[in-house]
Chains A and B, each alone.
Chain A
Amino acid sequence: MDRPMNLFKTVAAVLIAAVAITATPAMAAGGGAKHPRSGGFSFEGPFGRFDQGQLQRGYKVYREVCASCHGMNLLSFRTLGERGGPFWDPHAENAAANRYVRALAAEVQVADIDTETGEAIMRPATPADRFPNPYPNATAGAAANGGAFPPDLSVMAKARHDGANYIYSLLTGYVPAPAGLQINPGQYYNPYMAGDMTPFWTGDPSHVPPGGFIAMPPPLADGQVTYDDGTAQTVDQYSKDVAAFIAWASEPHQVQRKQAGVGVMIFLLLFLGLTYASYRRIWKGVAH
């Protein structure tokens, strides 16, 4: 019991148990939903990075398609130009001076108060502005969408288990409801959506279809958004790109975090080696 190896094994066992226990409810919460498909994203794993082109395309899909119903209230235009962001320009350290960001912001109208008259006005956004919400409040958003408020997408990749893959799978996962599934008007069947289809299933009770109902109609169609870089203009590609963009937006510092982590782990390993050597030296010949 005196050896660090044993301690390490125990700690590792506790750690694995802890992760297993916490991971379980997350899977259980998915109910009968299908496990998300892998989008093969470049930013996965400890050394993963974002593909800047993909983030730019993802922003375009969000702006042209998603933004009409979904807000991203926690994002500011300046964030797009921060280090590691879709429009990061090494020549514009200050994101507010980034010409792409300024141009993208100016394309969007935001609400403001006229400083002289005090009246509500619309003006072109500046880099410091947040993304505008499509609806004045959640009630208005729900009323305009058959009672289902389109959720804000700012942290969506963190708010769902296996976030980026989930978003990719959901967007590409729309299939016609299987025969025997009772579906109400204004609802769509998606096997990746959380839910339980048992009450709506009239077929074989041992083969309840996976997934749930979603109020969002399939939002994407091939060729809907124009890509300037020659990337395929397909639903699959759009879904991947917008999932990557939302994954970045949910945690803009995640690549920086992982890079810092590699450095910290190397330092701790060296620190451990030195301290262990010091420990061996101090305890050398001391009976215990």
Chain B
Amino acid sequence: MALENESVAADQGDPNDKDPNRRDFIHIAAGAAAVGAGVMAAWPLVNQMNPAADTLALSTIEFDTSKVLEGMQVVIKWQGKPVFVRNRTAAELQRVRAEGAVGSPAEPDSARTKAGHEAILVVIGSCTHLGCVPTFNAGDFGGWFCPCHGSHYDASGRIRKGPAPLNLVVPDYEFTAGSTVRIG
């Protein structure tokens, strides 16, 4: 390498030069590529925390609702959470229908069940306040009562009293054959 003194070096694009106009395009491009490489390297590290394929594969379950006696509920596990399948009595049905659209958001009972299977209610059994499991057939409205912070749900799973902000969630489900439902 031929030696030149420092001042010559400075003239030929001193990289310490803070003036962006004088800054060489090539350094910006290399820097941008480095940032790109960092982002590309970071993505798999973030993405790996998403649900794995075997976890996602368990996202669908089937259940025969004829196993639920009238006036009772069966709790099944779906995606690690409890799902209430409740077969409501005529009296309970009458009561929730008579109340019209209530809860938050205000909904009639018919919006929360499937046509032809009105007695069967399928809701995710986790309180919309902070996730506790509400107690069956308790509270002021004949539905569920959450023991953690005192939320009252009616027999349609709608929030009627207490701190919970929303009705119990009705999951995506459909009746596949007769009384069998597929959730998810």
A contact set with B: CB distance below 8 Å:
76, 78-79, 82, 94-96, 115-116, 127-128, 267, 270-271, 274-275, 277-278, 281-282, 284-288
**Contact, CB under 8 Å: B1 / A274:** no
- B53 contacts across to A, CB distance below 8 A: 78-79, 82
Instruction: Rank and list the top 8 A-B pairs by shortest CB-CB distance, nearest first.
Output: A287-B3, A128-B57, A278-B30, A274-B30, A285-B9, A271-B33, A275-B30, A285-B4
User: Interface extent on B, as a size class?
Assistant: 20 to 34
Given contacts A82-B53, A274-B33, 10 further A-B contacts (CB under 8 A): A79-B53, A96-B57, A96-B60, A115-B76, A128-B54, A271-B37, A277-B30, A282-B13, A284-B9, A287-B1
**Contact, CB under 8 Å: A275 / B33:** yes
Q: Which B residues, 22 to 42, have Cβ-Cβ distances below 8 Å to chain A? A: 24, 26-27, 29-30, 33-34, 36-37, 40
Q: How far is the CA of A87 from the CA of B99 in the complex (A)?
A: 51
Q: Separation in Å of the B131 CB from the closest CB of chain A?
A: 24
B contact set with A: CB distance below 8 Å:
1-4, 8-9, 12-13, 15, 24, 26-27, 29-30, 33-34, 36-37, 40, 53-54, 56-60, 67, 76
**Contact, CB under 8 Å: A127 / B57:** yes
Q: How far is the CA of A147 from the CA of B12 in the complex (A)?
A: 78
Q: Separation in Å of the B26 CB from the closest CB of chain A?
A: 5
Q: Separation in Å of the B16 CB from the closest CB of chain A?
A: 10
Q: How far is the CA of A275 from the CA of B2 in the complex (A)?
A: 23
- B29 contacts across to A, CB distance below 8 A: 274, 278
Selected A-B contacts with CB under 8 Å, 25 pairs: A76-B57, A82-B53, A94-B56, A96-B57, A116-B67, A127-B57, A128-B54, A128-B58, A271-B34, A271-B37, A274-B29, A274-B33, A278-B26, A278-B27, A281-B13, A281-B26, A282-B15, A285-B4, A285-B8, A285-B9, A286-B9, A287-B1, A287-B2, A287-B3, A287-B4
Q: How far is the CA of A285 from the CA of B29 in the complex (A)?
A: 22
Q: How far is the CA of A287 from the CA of B67 in the complex (A)?
A: 86
- B24 contacts across to A, CB distance below 8 A: 278, 281
**Contact, CB under 8 Å: A95 / B57:** yes
Q: How far is the CA of A85 from the CA of B36 in the complex (A)?
A: 31
Q: How far is the CA of A284 from the CA of B4 in the complex (A)?
A: 10
**Contact, CB under 8 Å: A267 / B37:** yes
Q: Separation in Å of the A188 CB from the closest CB of chain B?
A: 37
